Amino acid sequence: MDRANLALAEYLLELKAPVYMVAHEVEASLAKHPLAHVRIVPRTAGSYMLAEIPLGFHGRRTARRVLRQWPQAQVVVNGGNCIWPGINWVHCVHQAWPAPPAGSAPWLFRIKGASARSLDRRKERRAFRCARLLITNSERTSRDVRASAGVDPSRVHTVYLGADPDWASVTCAERAASRQSMEIPESRTVASFVGALGYDHNKGFDKLFRAWEELCARPDWDVDLLAAGSGPALPMWQNRVHQAGLGGRIRLLGFSEQVKSLLAASDVLVSPVRYEAYGLNVHEAICLGIPAMVSRSAGIAERYPSDLRPMLIPDPEDVGDLVGRLLDWRARKEDWKVRFAPFADRLRSRSWRDMAVDIVSFASQKGV
Protein backbone atom coordinates (compact mmCIF):
# COMPACT_ATOMS: atom_id res chain seq x y z
CA MET A 1 0.00 0.00 0.00
CA ASP A 2 2.79 2.43 0.89
CA ARG A 3 4.60 1.82 -2.40
CA ALA A 4 1.41 2.29 -4.40
CA ASN A 5 0.48 5.51 -2.58
CA LEU A 6 4.00 6.83 -3.17
CA ALA A 7 3.72 6.16 -6.91
CA LEU A 8 0.43 8.07 -7.17
CA ALA A 9 1.83 11.04 -5.25
CA GLU A 10 4.97 11.10 -7.42
CA TYR A 11 2.90 11.12 -10.61
CA LEU A 12 0.65 13.95 -9.37
CA LEU A 13 3.71 16.00 -8.46
CA GLU A 14 5.12 15.25 -11.91
CA LEU A 15 1.92 16.87 -13.27
CA LYS A 16 2.76 19.87 -11.06
CA ALA A 17 -0.35 19.38 -8.95
CA PRO A 18 -0.10 20.34 -5.27
CA VAL A 19 -0.42 17.19 -3.17
CA TYR A 20 -1.58 17.23 0.45
CA MET A 21 -0.71 14.05 2.32
CA VAL A 22 -1.88 12.87 5.74
CA ALA A 23 -0.04 9.76 6.90
CA HIS A 24 1.93 8.13 9.70
CA GLU A 25 5.11 8.58 7.67
CA VAL A 26 6.11 9.81 4.22
CA GLU A 27 9.14 9.14 2.04
CA ALA A 28 11.72 11.83 2.89
CA SER A 29 12.41 12.79 -0.73
CA LEU A 30 8.68 13.20 -1.36
CA ALA A 31 8.17 15.41 1.69
CA LYS A 32 10.87 17.79 0.43
CA HIS A 33 9.11 18.46 -2.87
CA PRO A 34 7.98 22.13 -3.09
CA LEU A 35 4.42 21.11 -4.08
CA ALA A 36 4.10 18.47 -1.36
CA HIS A 37 2.32 19.37 1.88
CA VAL A 38 2.65 16.73 4.58
CA ARG A 39 0.79 16.21 7.84
CA ILE A 40 2.41 13.45 9.89
CA VAL A 41 0.14 11.72 12.42
CA PRO A 42 2.29 9.84 14.96
CA ARG A 43 1.29 6.32 15.97
CA THR A 44 0.25 6.54 19.61
CA ALA A 45 2.45 4.15 21.61
CA GLY A 46 3.47 2.65 18.27
CA SER A 47 -0.09 1.39 17.74
CA TYR A 48 -1.91 1.68 14.40
CA MET A 49 -5.22 1.03 16.19
CA LEU A 50 -4.81 3.96 18.58
CA ALA A 51 -3.68 6.23 15.74
CA GLU A 52 -6.71 5.57 13.53
CA ILE A 53 -8.93 8.23 15.12
CA PRO A 54 -6.42 11.12 14.79
CA LEU A 55 -5.48 9.93 11.29
CA GLY A 56 -9.10 10.14 10.14
CA PHE A 57 -9.64 13.45 11.95
CA HIS A 58 -6.64 15.15 10.32
CA GLY A 59 -7.50 13.60 6.96
CA ARG A 60 -11.01 15.08 6.96
CA ARG A 61 -9.79 18.42 8.26
CA THR A 62 -7.16 18.63 5.53
CA ALA A 63 -9.72 17.64 2.86
CA ARG A 64 -12.13 20.37 3.95
CA ARG A 65 -9.35 22.99 3.98
CA VAL A 66 -8.08 22.01 0.52
CA LEU A 67 -11.56 21.94 -1.01
CA ARG A 68 -12.32 25.42 0.29
CA GLN A 69 -9.30 26.68 -1.61
CA TRP A 70 -9.64 24.38 -4.67
CA PRO A 71 -13.26 23.12 -5.02
CA GLN A 72 -12.27 20.80 -7.91
CA ALA A 73 -9.55 19.04 -5.90
CA GLN A 74 -9.71 15.26 -5.62
CA VAL A 75 -9.61 13.52 -2.24
CA VAL A 76 -8.18 9.99 -2.15
CA VAL A 77 -8.43 7.82 0.97
CA ASN A 78 -7.49 4.20 1.69
CA GLY A 79 -10.23 1.88 2.97
CA GLY A 80 -11.65 2.93 6.32
CA ASN A 81 -8.70 5.16 7.26
CA CYS A 82 -10.67 8.32 6.52
CA ILE A 83 -14.39 8.31 5.70
CA TRP A 84 -14.90 10.78 2.86
CA PRO A 85 -17.21 10.95 -0.21
CA GLY A 86 -14.46 10.98 -2.82
CA ILE A 87 -12.12 8.32 -4.21
CA ASN A 88 -11.47 5.32 -2.00
CA TRP A 89 -8.40 3.36 -3.10
CA VAL A 90 -8.91 -0.06 -1.49
CA HIS A 91 -5.80 -2.17 -0.84
CA CYS A 92 -7.51 -4.82 1.32
CA VAL A 93 -10.98 -5.65 2.66
CA HIS A 94 -11.18 -6.40 6.37
CA GLN A 95 -14.54 -8.10 5.93
CA ALA A 96 -12.84 -10.71 3.73
CA TRP A 97 -9.94 -11.21 6.14
CA PRO A 98 -10.51 -14.53 7.98
CA ALA A 99 -10.56 -14.63 11.76
CA PRO A 100 -7.47 -16.22 13.33
CA PRO A 101 -7.66 -19.84 14.47
CA ALA A 102 -9.07 -20.25 17.99
CA GLY A 103 -6.41 -20.17 20.69
CA SER A 104 -3.65 -19.22 18.27
CA ALA A 105 -2.62 -16.12 20.24
CA PRO A 106 -2.26 -15.00 23.88
CA TRP A 107 -5.58 -13.81 25.32
CA LEU A 108 -4.55 -10.13 25.25
CA PHE A 109 -3.77 -10.31 21.52
CA ARG A 110 -7.09 -12.11 20.90
CA ILE A 111 -9.09 -9.40 22.67
CA LYS A 112 -7.21 -6.59 20.95
CA GLY A 113 -7.48 -8.32 17.56
CA ALA A 114 -11.23 -8.93 17.88
CA SER A 115 -11.83 -5.29 18.84
CA ALA A 116 -9.69 -4.01 15.97
CA ARG A 117 -11.43 -6.28 13.43
CA SER A 118 -14.87 -5.17 14.53
CA LEU A 119 -13.94 -1.49 14.40
CA ASP A 120 -12.16 -1.81 11.05
CA ARG A 121 -15.11 -3.59 9.44
CA ARG A 122 -17.65 -0.99 10.62
CA LYS A 123 -15.51 1.91 9.42
CA GLU A 124 -14.78 0.15 6.15
CA ARG A 125 -18.45 -0.41 5.30
CA ARG A 126 -19.24 3.26 5.99
CA ALA A 127 -16.29 4.39 3.89
CA PHE A 128 -17.20 2.13 0.95
CA ARG A 129 -20.84 3.22 0.94
CA CYS A 130 -20.10 6.94 0.94
CA ALA A 131 -17.30 6.83 -1.69
CA ARG A 132 -18.25 8.05 -5.17
CA LEU A 133 -15.53 5.93 -6.80
CA LEU A 134 -13.74 2.86 -5.44
CA ILE A 135 -10.48 1.68 -7.01
CA THR A 136 -9.09 -1.74 -6.10
CA ASN A 137 -5.87 -3.65 -6.74
CA SER A 138 -7.51 -6.83 -8.12
CA GLU A 139 -10.80 -8.27 -9.32
CA ARG A 140 -10.82 -10.34 -6.14
CA THR A 141 -10.76 -7.12 -4.08
CA SER A 142 -13.49 -5.60 -6.26
CA ARG A 143 -15.74 -8.60 -5.55
CA ASP A 144 -15.01 -8.33 -1.83
CA VAL A 145 -15.86 -4.60 -1.82
CA ARG A 146 -19.18 -5.21 -3.56
CA ALA A 147 -20.06 -8.14 -1.27
CA SER A 148 -19.05 -6.49 2.01
CA ALA A 149 -20.89 -3.21 1.56
CA GLY A 150 -23.49 -3.80 -1.15
CA VAL A 151 -21.79 -1.23 -3.38
CA ASP A 152 -23.10 -0.56 -6.89
CA PRO A 153 -20.70 -2.40 -9.25
CA SER A 154 -20.50 0.66 -11.52
CA ARG A 155 -18.63 2.51 -8.76
CA VAL A 156 -15.91 -0.16 -8.38
CA HIS A 157 -12.95 -0.45 -10.76
CA THR A 158 -9.79 -2.55 -10.72
CA VAL A 159 -6.39 -0.98 -11.38
CA TYR A 160 -3.53 -3.45 -11.10
CA LEU A 161 -0.31 -2.47 -9.35
CA GLY A 162 2.87 -1.66 -11.24
CA ALA A 163 6.53 -2.57 -10.96
CA ASP A 164 9.84 -0.79 -10.48
CA PRO A 165 11.79 -0.65 -13.75
CA ASP A 166 15.00 -1.75 -12.01
CA TRP A 167 13.42 -4.99 -10.80
CA ALA A 168 14.61 -6.89 -13.85
CA SER A 169 15.57 -10.56 -14.15
CA VAL A 170 18.37 -11.40 -11.72
CA THR A 171 21.75 -11.88 -13.39
CA CYS A 172 24.20 -14.59 -12.39
CA ALA A 173 26.44 -11.93 -10.84
CA GLU A 174 23.56 -10.46 -8.80
CA ARG A 175 22.53 -13.90 -7.60
CA ALA A 176 26.11 -14.73 -6.57
CA ALA A 177 26.49 -11.40 -4.74
CA SER A 178 23.20 -11.84 -2.89
CA ARG A 179 24.09 -15.37 -1.86
CA GLN A 180 27.50 -14.29 -0.67
CA SER A 181 26.04 -11.46 1.43
CA MET A 182 23.54 -13.88 3.01
CA GLU A 183 26.11 -16.69 3.40
CA ILE A 184 24.20 -19.11 1.19
CA PRO A 185 26.36 -21.70 -0.62
CA GLU A 186 25.82 -21.72 -4.36
CA SER A 187 25.17 -25.46 -4.18
CA ARG A 188 22.04 -25.03 -2.02
CA THR A 189 18.53 -24.67 -3.41
CA VAL A 190 16.58 -21.96 -1.57
CA ALA A 191 12.90 -21.20 -1.14
CA SER A 192 11.85 -17.88 0.34
CA PHE A 193 8.85 -16.62 2.31
CA VAL A 194 8.08 -12.91 2.71
CA GLY A 195 5.32 -11.89 5.09
CA ALA A 196 4.36 -10.80 8.57
CA LEU A 197 4.50 -13.42 11.33
CA GLY A 198 1.37 -12.52 13.26
CA TYR A 199 -0.77 -14.66 15.51
CA ASP A 200 -3.54 -14.57 12.91
CA HIS A 201 -1.38 -16.83 10.69
CA ASN A 202 -2.87 -15.06 7.69
CA LYS A 203 0.29 -15.38 5.59
CA GLY A 204 0.22 -19.15 6.02
CA PHE A 205 3.65 -19.65 7.56
CA ASP A 206 2.18 -22.22 9.96
CA LYS A 207 1.25 -24.46 7.01
CA LEU A 208 4.55 -23.85 5.27
CA PHE A 209 6.39 -24.84 8.47
CA ARG A 210 4.43 -28.10 8.70
CA ALA A 211 5.17 -28.81 5.04
CA TRP A 212 8.86 -28.19 5.68
CA GLU A 213 8.83 -30.62 8.59
CA GLU A 214 7.47 -33.32 6.27
CA LEU A 215 9.81 -32.46 3.43
CA CYS A 216 12.95 -32.37 5.57
CA ALA A 217 12.16 -35.88 6.80
CA ARG A 218 12.81 -37.04 3.22
CA PRO A 219 16.45 -37.81 2.35
CA ASP A 220 16.03 -36.32 -1.15
CA TRP A 221 14.77 -32.87 -0.03
CA ASP A 222 17.67 -30.46 -0.47
CA VAL A 223 15.85 -27.10 -0.26
CA ASP A 224 16.39 -24.61 2.57
CA LEU A 225 13.77 -22.05 3.61
CA LEU A 226 14.52 -18.38 4.30
CA ALA A 227 11.69 -16.34 5.83
CA ALA A 228 11.71 -12.54 5.99
CA GLY A 229 9.13 -10.87 8.17
CA SER A 230 8.55 -9.68 11.69
CA GLY A 231 5.54 -9.71 13.98
CA PRO A 232 4.44 -10.67 17.49
CA ALA A 233 4.64 -14.42 16.67
CA LEU A 234 8.29 -14.31 15.54
CA PRO A 235 9.71 -15.49 18.92
CA MET A 236 7.23 -18.37 18.94
CA TRP A 237 8.37 -19.49 15.48
CA GLN A 238 12.03 -19.17 16.42
CA ASN A 239 11.33 -21.53 19.31
CA ARG A 240 9.36 -23.94 17.09
CA VAL A 241 12.17 -24.11 14.55
CA HIS A 242 14.68 -24.84 17.31
CA GLN A 243 12.49 -27.52 18.92
CA ALA A 244 11.96 -29.25 15.57
CA GLY A 245 15.73 -29.37 14.98
CA LEU A 246 15.34 -27.41 11.73
CA GLY A 247 17.73 -24.57 12.52
CA GLY A 248 19.91 -25.62 9.60
CA ARG A 249 16.96 -25.82 7.18
CA ILE A 250 14.83 -22.80 8.14
CA ARG A 251 16.30 -19.33 8.73
CA LEU A 252 14.02 -16.68 10.20
CA LEU A 253 15.46 -13.32 9.19
CA GLY A 254 12.96 -11.11 11.03
CA PHE A 255 12.27 -7.66 9.61
CA SER A 256 14.43 -7.03 6.57
CA GLU A 257 14.94 -4.13 4.19
CA GLN A 258 16.84 -6.49 1.87
CA VAL A 259 13.86 -8.30 0.36
CA LYS A 260 15.19 -7.76 -3.14
CA SER A 261 18.49 -9.38 -2.17
CA LEU A 262 16.66 -12.29 -0.52
CA LEU A 263 14.58 -12.89 -3.63
CA ALA A 264 17.65 -12.63 -5.85
CA ALA A 265 19.27 -15.41 -3.83
CA SER A 266 16.17 -17.63 -4.04
CA ASP A 267 14.97 -20.28 -6.46
CA VAL A 268 11.27 -19.95 -5.61
CA LEU A 269 8.94 -17.84 -3.45
CA VAL A 270 6.22 -19.66 -1.52
CA SER A 271 3.18 -17.71 -0.28
CA PRO A 272 0.39 -20.00 1.08
CA VAL A 273 -1.75 -17.07 2.22
CA ARG A 274 -5.24 -17.39 3.64
CA TYR A 275 -6.16 -13.89 2.45
CA GLU A 276 -4.25 -11.64 0.10
CA ALA A 277 -5.93 -8.75 -1.70
CA TYR A 278 -3.09 -8.70 -4.21
CA GLY A 279 0.39 -10.02 -3.32
CA LEU A 280 3.15 -7.54 -4.15
CA ASN A 281 5.81 -9.92 -2.80
CA VAL A 282 4.78 -12.45 -5.44
CA HIS A 283 4.65 -9.77 -8.14
CA GLU A 284 8.17 -8.57 -7.31
CA ALA A 285 9.62 -12.08 -7.15
CA ILE A 286 8.29 -12.87 -10.62
CA CYS A 287 9.65 -9.57 -11.98
CA LEU A 288 13.08 -10.70 -10.76
CA GLY A 289 12.69 -13.95 -12.69
CA ILE A 290 11.90 -16.04 -9.58
CA PRO A 291 9.00 -18.53 -9.89
CA ALA A 292 6.33 -17.98 -7.25
CA MET A 293 3.84 -20.37 -5.67
CA VAL A 294 0.83 -18.59 -4.17
CA SER A 295 -2.69 -19.37 -3.01
CA ARG A 296 -5.26 -19.38 -5.78
CA SER A 297 -7.43 -16.97 -3.76
CA ALA A 298 -4.78 -14.20 -3.81
CA GLY A 299 -5.48 -11.24 -6.07
CA ILE A 300 -2.36 -11.69 -8.16
CA ALA A 301 -3.35 -15.31 -8.94
CA GLU A 302 -6.00 -14.02 -11.37
CA ARG A 303 -3.15 -12.66 -13.51
CA TYR A 304 -1.39 -16.04 -13.79
CA PRO A 305 -1.55 -17.50 -17.30
CA SER A 306 -3.10 -20.96 -17.65
CA ASP A 307 0.25 -22.77 -18.07
CA LEU A 308 1.37 -21.54 -14.62
CA ARG A 309 -1.78 -22.62 -12.76
CA PRO A 310 -0.06 -25.67 -11.19
CA MET A 311 1.88 -23.13 -9.09
CA LEU A 312 -1.39 -21.91 -7.55
CA ILE A 313 -2.29 -23.48 -4.19
CA PRO A 314 -6.01 -24.40 -4.21
CA ASP A 315 -6.33 -24.78 -0.43
CA PRO A 316 -3.68 -23.30 1.90
CA GLU A 317 -4.99 -25.52 4.71
CA ASP A 318 -4.00 -28.68 2.79
CA VAL A 319 -0.40 -29.37 3.85
CA GLY A 320 -0.23 -32.57 1.80
CA ASP A 321 -1.12 -30.69 -1.39
CA LEU A 322 1.51 -28.04 -0.62
CA VAL A 323 4.14 -30.74 -0.10
CA GLY A 324 3.22 -32.32 -3.44
CA ARG A 325 3.43 -29.01 -5.30
CA LEU A 326 6.82 -28.21 -3.78
CA LEU A 327 8.13 -31.63 -4.79
CA ASP A 328 6.83 -31.09 -8.32
CA TRP A 329 8.51 -27.68 -8.48
CA ARG A 330 11.82 -29.12 -7.24
CA ALA A 331 11.74 -31.93 -9.82
CA ARG A 332 11.30 -29.37 -12.63
CA LYS A 333 13.02 -26.34 -11.10
CA GLU A 334 14.74 -25.12 -14.28
CA ASP A 335 11.66 -25.74 -16.42
CA TRP A 336 9.51 -23.61 -14.10
CA LYS A 337 12.02 -20.77 -14.31
CA VAL A 338 11.78 -20.77 -18.11
CA ARG A 339 7.99 -20.97 -18.04
CA PHE A 340 7.70 -17.93 -15.75
CA ALA A 341 9.85 -15.72 -18.04
CA PRO A 342 7.02 -14.47 -20.34
CA PHE A 343 4.83 -13.67 -17.32
CA ALA A 344 7.73 -11.74 -15.78
CA ASP A 345 8.09 -9.70 -18.97
CA ARG A 346 4.38 -8.85 -18.89
CA LEU A 347 4.43 -7.74 -15.24
CA ARG A 348 7.58 -5.65 -15.77
CA SER A 349 6.01 -3.91 -18.76
CA ARG A 350 3.56 -2.13 -16.46
CA SER A 351 5.26 0.53 -14.33
CA TRP A 352 4.08 2.25 -11.17
CA ARG A 353 3.62 5.36 -13.29
CA ASP A 354 1.28 3.42 -15.62
CA MET A 355 -0.80 2.49 -12.58
CA ALA A 356 -0.97 6.13 -11.45
CA VAL A 357 -1.98 7.26 -14.96
CA ASP A 358 -4.86 4.76 -14.92
CA ILE A 359 -6.11 6.01 -11.55
CA VAL A 360 -6.07 9.64 -12.65
CA SER A 361 -7.80 8.64 -15.90
CA PHE A 362 -10.59 6.80 -14.02
CA ALA A 363 -11.13 9.80 -11.76
CA SER A 364 -11.37 12.10 -14.80
CA GLN A 365 -13.72 9.83 -16.74
CA LYS A 366 -16.08 9.38 -13.82
CA GLY A 367 -16.17 13.08 -13.06
CA VAL A 368 -15.30 12.52 -9.43
Supply the DSSP string of 119-176, one letter for each residue: HHHHHHHHHHHH-SEEEESSHHHHHHHHHHH---GGGEEE----B-TT--PPPHHHHH
Q: Look at residues 335, 212, 187, 344 and name the one whose alpha carbon lies nearest to residue 270.
A: 212
pLDDT confidence bin for 307, thresholds 50/70/90: very high
pLDDT at 50 over 80: no
Instruction: Find out whether 312 and 304 touch, Cβ atoms under 8 Å.
Output: yes
pLDDT confidence bin for 1, thresholds 50/70/90: confident
Q: Give the pLDDT confidence score for residue 97 in this predicted structure.
A: 84
Domain boundaries, the chain: 2-162+351-365, 172-348
Q: What is the pLDDT of residues 131-144, one digit of tens each?
A: 999 999 999 999 99
Least confident of 42-46, 186-190, 203-207: 42-46
Instruction: Find out whether 317 and 206 touch, Cβ atoms under 8 Å.
Output: no
Q: Give the pLDDT confidence score for residue 166 in this predicted structure.
A: 83
Q: What is the pLDDT of residues 193-250, one digit of tens each?
A: 999 998 889 999 999 999 999 999 999 999 999 999 999 999 999 999 999 999 999 9
Quote the CA–CA distance of 96 and 276 in Å, as a whole number: 9
pLDDT confidence bin for 69, thresholds 50/70/90: very high
The conformation of residue 95, written as its DSSP 8-state character, comes to G
Share of the chain above pLDDT 70, in %: 95
pLDDT at 104 over 90: no
Q: Which CATH class is domain 2-162+351-365?
A: alpha beta
Q: Which CATH class is domain 172-348?
A: alpha beta
- The mean per-residue pLDDT over the stretch 104-131 comes to 81
Q: What is the mean pLDDT of the chain?
A: 93
pTM of the predicted structure, to 2 decimals: 0.92
CA atoms within 13 A on the CB side of 85: 2
Quote the CA–CA distance of 45 and 59 in Å, as a whole number: 20
Least confident of 40-49, 214-223, 350-359: 40-49
Residue 279, classified by CB atoms within 10 Å of its CB into exposed (0-12), middle (13-18) or buried (19+), is buried
Two domains, one topology: 2-162+351-365 and 172-348: yes
Quote the CA–CA distance of 267 and 272 in Å, as a whole number: 16
Distances (CA, A) of 332 to 16, 48, 291, 327: 50, 43, 11, 9
- The mean per-residue pLDDT over the stretch 20-35 comes to 92
Q: Give the pLDDT confidence score for residue 103 in this predicted structure.
A: 57
Stated as kind and residue range, the H or E segment containing 293 is strand 292-295
Quote the CA–CA distance of 192 and 262 in Å, as a whole number: 7
CA atoms within 13 A on the CB side of 97: 19
- The mean per-residue pLDDT over the stretch 247-258 comes to 93
